Structures are given as structure tokens and as C-alpha cells.
Structure 1
């Protein structure tokens, strides 16, 4: 058992830890509404306003939003 434990600990040291920070995505208008804490209608208005265009990828009906980027873009913009 000691040999196996020693080999396993050496292998763990050889595996590089990823430097890439994990990105969080939300899907659809419902996901965007949950992220922003608003209604689906308001999330749709924010999406269509163009404020978070850089955070949105849309393929057909599927909407994918980079959550962190969307929140940063909204913080920079002041809504009336």
C-alpha cells in the first residue's frame, strides 16, 4: 500500500492545474432573468437593448449568455 500511495502522490504532482478560470453561462431568457433577478419580459428588453450584446451568443432560438460578462456590462451601463 505504501508504494501505491507514493506513486499516486507523485502522479498528482505531475498533473498541471488549469490556469483557465471557469466561465459561467446561463441559457435562454429564463436563465438571464434569473441571473438579473427580473422578469422574463424585462430580460428580453435588456437583451434587445444591445447593452449585453457582447455577452450573448444566439444560434437560432438558443440563447447562451456569459453571466460574468453580462453583469459587468450592465454595471457599466446605467438604466433609467
Structure 2
């Protein structure tokens, strides 16, 4: 099935819908030009944060809720987009502050 701007949402599977949303988010985020042509890497959702930091989902959720990573997190509704490098820097700096 070819998906275009005229495709009805009701005709999409959940996977198709998520692919469309991810493609659109990537397109919007790529509109912001990174400094010095560095390529940014993003992870999505608590599962992405969990894999990035090598922690449990509970710990990832607790860390997100604490506000320590707010500068690295963009959230639209339930879609969570995390700048991986910035999150690692913030997590590392908070770890050293203790």
C-alpha cells in the first residue's frame, strides 16, 4: 500500500501510522541544522532512554521525571524524543555532582 498525504488514518495499520509519525518527526527535526555539521542521534521513548543509559525502565522513567534531562528531551503528547549525546552529557554531569 502506498501511503501519501491523502491516505486516511483509518486505512493504516499501527505500524504504518508509527512509521509515518517517525518520518515526519525526523523531517521536522532535520530542519534544525546542528552546529558544525555534526550529526545528531536521537532515541525515542523510555525504551530508547533505557537502552541508551543501560538501566531499567523504572530508572529511566524516574530520571525523566526528575527533570535532570529536560534539556535533552522533547515531548509531544506521548511521543518522547531524546537527543542522545546531550542526555549522556547531562546524566554524566549529574552523576559527578553527587
Query: Does TM-score exceed 0.5, indicating one fold?
Result: yes
Which residue matches 2:88? Answer: 71
Counterpart of 2:65 (choices 18, 36, 48) is 48
**Cα displacement (A) at 1:22:** 0.4
Task: Give CA deviations for 1:30-66 in whole Å, capped at 9, x if unaligned.
Answer: 0000000011111000000111000000000000000
Gaps of 5+ in 2: 1-35
Which structure would you say has the larger Rg?
1
**RMSD of the TM alignment (CA)?**
1.4
Runs of 4+ in 1 over 6 A off after TM superposition: none
State the distance in 1 between where 2:94 and 2:46 align. Answer: 20
State the distance in 2 between where 1:50 and 1:41 align. Answer: 15
Gaps of 5+ in 1: 1-18
- TM-score normalized with structure 2 length: 0.60
Q: Which has the higher contact order (CA 8 A, sep 6+)?
A: 1
